[in-house]
Structure 1
Amino acid sequence: MTTEIGLFGSIDAETLASAEEQKAPELVYGSAEEFLHEQLLPTYVRDVDGRAAKWCIEWYFHPEAVSRIEALWRAWEHLRLDGATGISVWYKDHADHHMSVLLDPRGPFYKCDMQKHRDPEHLEPKRAPSGWFPDVRQQLA
Protein backbone atom coordinates (compact mmCIF):
# COMPACT_ATOMS: atom_id res chain seq x y z
CA MET A 1 0.00 0.00 0.00
CA THR A 2 1.28 3.46 -0.92
CA THR A 3 0.30 6.82 0.53
CA GLU A 4 0.77 9.90 -1.65
CA ILE A 5 2.79 12.76 -0.15
CA GLY A 6 2.24 15.86 -2.30
CA LEU A 7 4.69 16.82 -5.02
CA PHE A 8 7.59 14.86 -3.56
CA GLY A 9 6.41 11.37 -4.43
CA SER A 10 4.99 8.70 -2.17
CA ILE A 11 5.76 6.82 1.02
CA ASP A 12 4.68 3.35 2.04
CA ALA A 13 2.42 2.74 5.05
CA GLU A 14 5.19 0.97 7.02
CA THR A 15 7.53 3.96 6.72
CA LEU A 16 4.70 6.31 7.68
CA ALA A 17 3.86 4.20 10.75
CA SER A 18 7.53 4.10 11.74
CA ALA A 19 7.77 7.89 11.48
CA GLU A 20 4.70 8.28 13.70
CA GLU A 21 6.29 6.00 16.32
CA GLN A 22 9.39 8.22 16.33
CA LYS A 23 7.47 11.29 17.49
CA ALA A 24 9.02 13.16 20.37
CA PRO A 25 8.70 11.22 23.62
CA GLU A 26 6.44 12.55 26.33
CA LEU A 27 8.10 14.88 28.80
CA VAL A 28 8.53 13.77 32.41
CA TYR A 29 8.22 17.35 33.71
CA GLY A 30 5.93 20.04 32.36
CA SER A 31 8.14 23.01 33.17
CA ALA A 32 11.58 24.07 34.31
CA GLU A 33 10.11 24.93 37.72
CA GLU A 34 8.62 21.47 38.17
CA PHE A 35 11.95 19.94 37.12
CA LEU A 36 13.80 22.16 39.62
CA HIS A 37 11.58 21.15 42.55
CA GLU A 38 10.97 17.51 41.69
CA GLN A 39 14.29 16.39 40.19
CA LEU A 40 17.17 18.85 40.30
CA LEU A 41 17.19 20.15 43.88
CA PRO A 42 16.26 16.84 45.53
CA THR A 43 19.14 15.06 43.76
CA TYR A 44 21.77 17.82 43.47
CA VAL A 45 22.22 18.52 47.17
CA ARG A 46 24.83 21.02 48.33
CA ASP A 47 25.48 22.96 51.53
CA VAL A 48 24.31 26.44 50.63
CA ASP A 49 25.91 28.47 53.40
CA GLY A 50 26.19 31.83 51.63
CA ARG A 51 29.99 31.69 51.64
CA ALA A 52 30.92 28.69 49.45
CA ALA A 53 27.53 28.50 47.74
CA LYS A 54 24.59 30.88 47.30
CA TRP A 55 20.98 30.46 46.25
CA CYS A 56 18.02 32.82 46.06
CA ILE A 57 14.63 31.72 47.33
CA GLU A 58 13.12 33.80 44.54
CA TRP A 59 15.38 32.34 41.84
CA TYR A 60 12.75 33.10 39.16
CA PHE A 61 13.59 36.83 39.37
CA HIS A 62 17.05 36.10 37.97
CA PRO A 63 16.96 35.78 34.16
CA GLU A 64 20.29 33.95 34.03
CA ALA A 65 19.09 31.39 36.58
CA VAL A 66 15.83 30.83 34.71
CA SER A 67 17.70 30.33 31.45
CA ARG A 68 20.20 27.89 33.00
CA ILE A 69 17.49 25.90 34.79
CA GLU A 70 15.50 25.72 31.56
CA ALA A 71 18.63 24.46 29.78
CA LEU A 72 19.20 21.86 32.50
CA TRP A 73 15.61 20.65 32.24
CA ARG A 74 15.64 20.36 28.44
CA ALA A 75 19.00 18.57 28.42
CA TRP A 76 17.79 16.17 31.13
CA GLU A 77 14.60 15.37 29.19
CA HIS A 78 16.70 14.56 26.12
CA LEU A 79 19.56 12.68 27.77
CA ARG A 80 17.37 10.56 30.07
CA LEU A 81 16.39 8.61 26.97
CA ASP A 82 19.96 7.32 26.57
CA GLY A 83 19.90 4.32 28.88
CA ALA A 84 23.65 3.80 28.72
CA THR A 85 25.40 7.07 29.57
CA GLY A 86 22.76 9.78 29.20
CA ILE A 87 22.44 10.75 32.85
CA SER A 88 26.21 10.62 33.34
CA VAL A 89 26.64 12.95 30.37
CA TRP A 90 23.93 15.20 31.80
CA TYR A 91 25.75 15.49 35.13
CA LYS A 92 29.19 15.97 33.56
CA ASP A 93 28.28 18.34 30.73
CA HIS A 94 25.22 20.12 32.10
CA ALA A 95 24.42 19.84 35.81
CA ASP A 96 27.94 20.20 37.16
CA HIS A 97 28.66 23.11 34.85
CA HIS A 98 25.43 25.10 35.33
CA MET A 99 25.03 24.38 39.04
CA SER A 100 28.61 25.50 39.69
CA VAL A 101 27.78 28.81 38.03
CA LEU A 102 24.41 29.15 39.76
CA LEU A 103 25.76 28.34 43.23
CA ASP A 104 28.95 30.39 42.86
CA PRO A 105 29.05 33.17 45.49
CA ARG A 106 29.80 35.59 42.64
CA GLY A 107 27.14 34.05 40.39
CA PRO A 108 23.63 35.30 39.60
CA PHE A 109 22.53 35.16 43.27
CA TYR A 110 25.53 37.15 44.58
CA LYS A 111 23.36 39.78 46.32
CA CYS A 112 20.78 37.34 47.70
CA ASP A 113 20.61 34.90 50.55
CA MET A 114 18.26 32.10 51.56
CA GLN A 115 15.91 34.55 53.28
CA LYS A 116 15.82 37.55 50.96
CA HIS A 117 15.94 38.29 47.25
CA ARG A 118 17.79 41.40 46.14
CA ASP A 119 17.65 42.54 42.53
CA PRO A 120 20.98 42.14 40.78
CA GLU A 121 22.72 45.06 39.16
CA HIS A 122 22.57 44.67 35.40
CA LEU A 123 25.38 45.68 33.11
CA GLU A 124 24.51 48.75 31.08
CA PRO A 125 27.00 48.82 28.21
CA LYS A 126 27.13 51.62 25.67
CA ARG A 127 25.88 50.92 22.17
CA ALA A 128 28.58 50.64 19.51
CA PRO A 129 28.73 53.39 16.87
CA SER A 130 26.23 52.96 14.06
CA GLY A 131 27.36 50.50 11.39
CA TRP A 132 29.89 48.59 13.49
CA PHE A 133 27.59 45.58 13.83
CA PRO A 134 25.36 45.38 10.75
CA ASP A 135 22.20 43.29 11.02
CA VAL A 136 23.14 40.06 9.20
CA ARG A 137 19.46 39.17 8.77
CA GLN A 138 19.27 41.95 6.18
CA GLN A 139 22.32 40.56 4.36
CA LEU A 140 20.73 37.09 4.15
CA ALA A 141 17.45 38.36 2.68
Structure 2
Amino acid sequence: MTNDFDLYDTDTLPPATKAQDAEKAPELVYGSAEEFLHEQLLPTYVRSVTGKSAKWCIEWYFHPEAVSRVAALWRAWEHLRLDPATGMSVWWKDHADHHMRVLLDPQGPFYNCDMKEHREPELLEPRIAPKGWFQDARLL
Protein backbone atom coordinates (compact mmCIF):
# COMPACT_ATOMS: atom_id res chain seq x y z
CA MET A 1 0.00 0.00 0.00
CA THR A 2 1.38 3.41 -0.87
CA ASN A 3 0.76 6.63 0.99
CA ASP A 4 0.29 9.55 -1.38
CA PHE A 5 -0.29 12.04 1.44
CA ASP A 6 2.52 14.60 1.54
CA LEU A 7 3.12 16.26 4.93
CA TYR A 8 4.42 19.36 3.20
CA ASP A 9 1.26 19.74 1.09
CA THR A 10 -0.82 21.78 3.50
CA ASP A 11 -3.64 22.59 1.08
CA THR A 12 -4.72 19.11 -0.02
CA LEU A 13 -6.64 16.88 2.35
CA PRO A 14 -5.58 13.24 2.64
CA PRO A 15 -7.39 10.78 0.35
CA ALA A 16 -10.87 9.90 1.61
CA THR A 17 -11.66 6.38 2.69
CA LYS A 18 -14.81 4.54 1.61
CA ALA A 19 -16.36 5.24 5.02
CA GLN A 20 -15.65 8.95 4.62
CA ASP A 21 -17.11 8.91 1.11
CA ALA A 22 -20.37 7.44 2.49
CA GLU A 23 -20.96 10.45 4.73
CA LYS A 24 -20.15 14.04 3.88
CA ALA A 25 -17.14 15.38 5.75
CA PRO A 26 -17.75 18.50 7.88
CA GLU A 27 -16.89 21.84 6.31
CA LEU A 28 -13.47 23.24 7.22
CA VAL A 29 -13.35 26.45 9.24
CA TYR A 30 -9.97 27.41 7.74
CA GLY A 31 -8.92 26.78 4.15
CA SER A 32 -5.19 26.36 4.78
CA ALA A 33 -2.57 25.95 7.48
CA GLU A 34 -1.50 29.55 6.91
CA GLU A 35 -5.02 30.90 7.38
CA PHE A 36 -5.31 28.82 10.58
CA LEU A 37 -1.97 30.17 11.83
CA HIS A 38 -2.91 33.82 11.26
CA GLU A 39 -6.56 33.71 12.31
CA GLN A 40 -6.67 31.12 15.11
CA LEU A 41 -3.33 29.89 16.41
CA LEU A 42 -1.18 33.00 16.82
CA PRO A 43 -3.98 35.27 18.10
CA THR A 44 -4.74 32.76 20.87
CA TYR A 45 -1.24 31.39 21.58
CA VAL A 46 0.45 34.59 22.71
CA ARG A 47 3.98 34.35 24.07
CA SER A 48 6.94 36.66 24.61
CA VAL A 49 9.34 35.89 21.77
CA THR A 50 12.62 37.52 22.76
CA GLY A 51 15.03 35.03 21.24
CA LYS A 52 16.29 33.90 24.64
CA SER A 53 13.43 31.73 25.86
CA ALA A 54 11.44 31.58 22.61
CA LYS A 55 12.22 32.11 18.92
CA TRP A 56 10.08 32.61 15.82
CA CYS A 57 10.93 33.25 12.20
CA ILE A 58 9.04 35.96 10.38
CA GLU A 59 9.27 33.77 7.26
CA TRP A 60 8.21 30.57 9.04
CA TYR A 61 7.01 29.04 5.75
CA PHE A 62 10.64 28.50 4.61
CA HIS A 63 11.08 25.91 7.38
CA PRO A 64 9.70 22.49 6.34
CA GLU A 65 9.41 21.32 9.95
CA ALA A 66 7.40 24.41 10.89
CA VAL A 67 5.09 24.01 7.89
CA SER A 68 4.48 20.36 8.75
CA ARG A 69 3.82 21.13 12.44
CA VAL A 70 1.47 24.04 11.68
CA ALA A 71 -0.40 21.83 9.18
CA ALA A 72 -0.66 19.11 11.84
CA LEU A 73 -2.01 21.65 14.33
CA TRP A 74 -4.57 22.86 11.79
CA ARG A 75 -5.77 19.37 10.86
CA ALA A 76 -6.00 18.30 14.52
CA TRP A 77 -7.91 21.47 15.39
CA GLU A 78 -10.38 20.96 12.53
CA HIS A 79 -11.00 17.41 13.76
CA LEU A 80 -11.13 18.04 17.50
CA ARG A 81 -13.32 21.15 17.31
CA LEU A 82 -16.17 18.76 16.45
CA ASP A 83 -15.96 17.15 19.92
CA PRO A 84 -18.06 19.46 22.12
CA ALA A 85 -16.96 17.79 25.35
CA THR A 86 -13.16 17.63 25.52
CA GLY A 87 -12.03 18.29 21.97
CA MET A 88 -10.42 21.67 22.59
CA SER A 89 -8.81 20.52 25.82
CA VAL A 90 -7.29 17.56 24.00
CA TRP A 91 -6.13 19.85 21.18
CA TRP A 92 -4.42 22.26 23.59
CA LYS A 93 -2.85 19.54 25.75
CA ASP A 94 -1.81 17.02 23.11
CA HIS A 95 -1.21 19.22 20.06
CA ALA A 96 -0.79 22.97 20.61
CA ASP A 97 1.29 22.79 23.78
CA HIS A 98 3.50 20.08 22.33
CA HIS A 99 4.12 21.51 18.85
CA MET A 100 4.39 25.15 19.91
CA ARG A 101 6.93 24.23 22.60
CA VAL A 102 9.04 22.62 19.86
CA LEU A 103 8.51 25.44 17.35
CA LEU A 104 9.36 28.22 19.82
CA ASP A 105 12.30 26.43 21.43
CA PRO A 106 15.51 28.49 20.97
CA GLN A 107 17.15 25.30 19.63
CA GLY A 108 14.09 24.45 17.49
CA PRO A 109 13.56 24.96 13.76
CA PHE A 110 14.00 28.75 14.00
CA TYR A 111 17.28 28.58 15.95
CA ASN A 112 19.16 30.52 13.27
CA CYS A 113 16.50 33.21 12.69
CA ASP A 114 15.11 36.16 14.55
CA MET A 115 11.90 38.16 14.42
CA LYS A 116 13.29 40.46 11.73
CA GLU A 117 15.28 38.13 9.47
CA HIS A 118 15.09 34.60 8.12
CA ARG A 119 18.35 32.68 7.85
CA GLU A 120 18.62 29.32 6.16
CA PRO A 121 19.17 26.54 8.69
CA GLU A 122 22.03 24.10 8.42
CA LEU A 123 20.45 20.80 7.45
CA LEU A 124 21.45 17.54 9.07
CA GLU A 125 23.77 15.63 6.74
CA PRO A 126 23.18 11.90 7.21
CA ARG A 127 25.19 9.13 5.64
CA ILE A 128 23.44 6.32 3.81
CA ALA A 129 23.34 3.11 5.91
CA PRO A 130 25.14 0.04 4.57
CA LYS A 131 23.10 -1.96 2.06
CA GLY A 132 20.70 -4.38 3.74
CA TRP A 133 20.39 -2.56 7.08
CA PHE A 134 16.90 -1.26 6.34
CA GLN A 135 14.41 -3.33 4.37
CA ASP A 136 11.88 -1.58 2.17
CA ALA A 137 8.62 -2.09 4.10
CA ARG A 138 6.64 -1.86 0.86
CA LEU A 139 8.29 -5.11 -0.26
CA LEU A 140 7.57 -7.11 2.91
TM-score range, shorter chain: 0.7 to 0.9
Q: Once superposed, which parts of structure 1, at least 4 consecutive aligned residues long, lie more than 6 Å away?
A: none
| Structure 2, gaps ≥5 residues long | 1-19
1:62 corresponds in structure 2 to: 63
1:135 corresponds in structure 2 to: 136
**Structure holding more strand per residue:** 1
Per-residue deviation at 1:22? Answer: 3.7
Distance 1:74 1:118, change over 3 A: same
Choose between structure 1 and 2 for higher RCO, CA contacts under 8 A separated by at least 6 residues: 2
| Identical-residue share of aligned pairs (%) | 78
Q: How does 1:1-141 map to 2 (within 5 A)?
A: 22-139=23-140
RMSD: 1.4
**Structure holding more helix per residue:** 1
- Partners of 2:139 and 2:99 lie apart in 1 by 34
Per-residue deviation at 1:20? Answer: 8.1
- CA displacement, residues 89-140 of structure 1 (integer Å, 9 cap, x when unaligned): 100000000000000000000000000000111101100011111212122x
Max radius of gyration: which structure? 1
Q: Secondary structure at the match of 2:119?
A: coil
Distance 1:116 1:20, change over 3 A: closer
- Partners of 1:91 and 1:133 lie apart in 2 by 36
Q: How many residues align?
A: 121
- Partners of 1:24 and 1:130 lie apart in 2 by 44
